[in-house]
């Protein structure tokens, strides 16, 4: 896939591969997000694992199909686990960086900058987090330069999501504002991008597919939800039930 207009069919194809191959995504993620993230991966057809113990993590990562590194509720033990996991992954296993709340604490920002320099296949973040890391506002040209300079894919989420590898850029206008009222929604989106990376070598496609799938699932769930409680539950149901027809009908993507 090279053009944004091909994204819906590509995303449906990637979802089909996840369901067929059941890739395992090892998630080093914050304690608030673990349960919802695991359920999101299962709803998509993937398999989660979550240990962060230094004694175990290398074996879990070595046999995983993708890795998620999320910086929420970060501490020294989790930092050691991340370092060990990335040594183990080392170019063989694709990984997603989610620098949660990197705009809130200097120590976390410093650690995140070191991780960003290790070339994550995808970085999934919001505007405040991008601004804290890049020290610039996330204008499209800035995102593209950032991605190109670091050989990564940036997936910026907000009212409109933007996914760029520096050469190719797609914007996704799916989703619903109430998704911001469900904790760990962004964390779970990053995990879903990890599942896509596990079955799709083109990281730009994988990132765009992951964000499109969660956007469509969230927007469909929102039409039936009574509030953020039923939305969180419903997005697991709708993701589980997504098919190519729905994805193609609902996708709102552009250059």
Footprint on this chain of its own copies (rule: CB under 8 A): 30-36, 38-39, 42-43, 48-53, 55-56, 59-60, 63, 72-77, 101, 104-108, 180-184, 225-230, 232-241
Q: In whole angstroms, how close is the CB of 6 to its own copies at the nearest point?
A: 28
Tokens of 99: 């620098």
Is residue 147 a contact partner of residue 204, using CB atoms and an 8 Å limit? no
Of residues 33 and 82, the one with the C-beta less far from its own copies = 33
Q: Which H helix or E strand runs over 154?
A: strand 153-156
Q: In whole angstroms, how close is the CB of 135 to its own copies at the nearest point?
A: 18
Q: In whole angstroms, how close is the CB of 1 to its own copies at the nearest point?
A: 28
Q: In whole angstroms, how close is the CB of 106 to its own copies at the nearest point?
A: 7
CA torsion through residues 154, 155, 161, 166, sign = positive
Q: In whole angstroms, how close is the CB of 87 to its own copies at the nearest point?
A: 16
Round to whole Å and give the CA distance between 148 and 23. 28
Angle at alpha carbon of residue 15, lines to 13 and 17, rounded to 5°: 70
Question: SS3 of 180, please?
Answer: helix
Of residues 162 and 225, the one with the C-beta less far from its own copies = 225
Of residues 38 and 163, the one with the C-beta less far from its own copies = 38
Of residues 75 and 249, the one with the C-beta less far from its own copies = 75
Strand 169-172 to 253-254 pairing: antiparallel
The CA-based diameter of the chain, rounded to the nearest angstrom, is: 47
DSSP bridge pairs for 28: 69
Of residues 27 and 154, the one with the C-beta less far from its own copies = 27
Of residues 51 and 131, the one with the C-beta less far from its own copies = 51
Round to whole Å and give the CA distance between 111 and 45. 32
Q: In whole angstroms, how close is the CB of 60 to its own copies at the nearest point?
A: 6
């Amino acid at each position: 896939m090279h053009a944004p207009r091909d994204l819906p069919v590509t995303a449906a194809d990637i979802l089909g591969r996840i369901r067929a191959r059941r890739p395992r995504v090892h998630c080093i993620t914050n304690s608030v997000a673990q349960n919802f993230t695991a359920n999101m991966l299962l709803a998509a057809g993937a398999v989660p694992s979550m240990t962060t113990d230094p004694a175990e993590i290398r074996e879990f990562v070595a046999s995983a199909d993708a890795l998620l590194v999320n910086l929420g509720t970060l501490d020294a033990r989790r930092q050691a686990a991340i370092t060990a996991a990335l040594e183990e992954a080392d170019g063989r296993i694709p990984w997603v960086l989610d620098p949660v709340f990197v705009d809130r604490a200097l120590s976390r920002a410093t650690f995140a900058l070191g991780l960003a320099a290790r070339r994550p296949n995808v970085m999934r973040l919001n505007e405040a987090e991008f601004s804290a890391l890049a020290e610039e506002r996330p204008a499209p040209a800035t995102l593209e330069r950032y991605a190109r300079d670091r050989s990564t894919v940036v997936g910026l989420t907000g009212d409109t999501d933007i996914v760029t590898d520096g050469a190719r850029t797609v914007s996704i206008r799916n989703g619903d504002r109430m998704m911001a009222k469900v904790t760990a929604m962004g964390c779970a989106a990053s995990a879903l991008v990890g599942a896509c990376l596990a079955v799709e070598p083109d990281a730009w496609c994988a990132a765009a597919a992951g964000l499109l799938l969660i956007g469509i699932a969230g927007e469909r769930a929102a039409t039936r939800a009574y509030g953020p409680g039923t939305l969180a539950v419903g997005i697991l149901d709708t993701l589980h039930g997504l098919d190519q027809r729905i994805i193609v009908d609902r996708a709102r993507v552009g250059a």
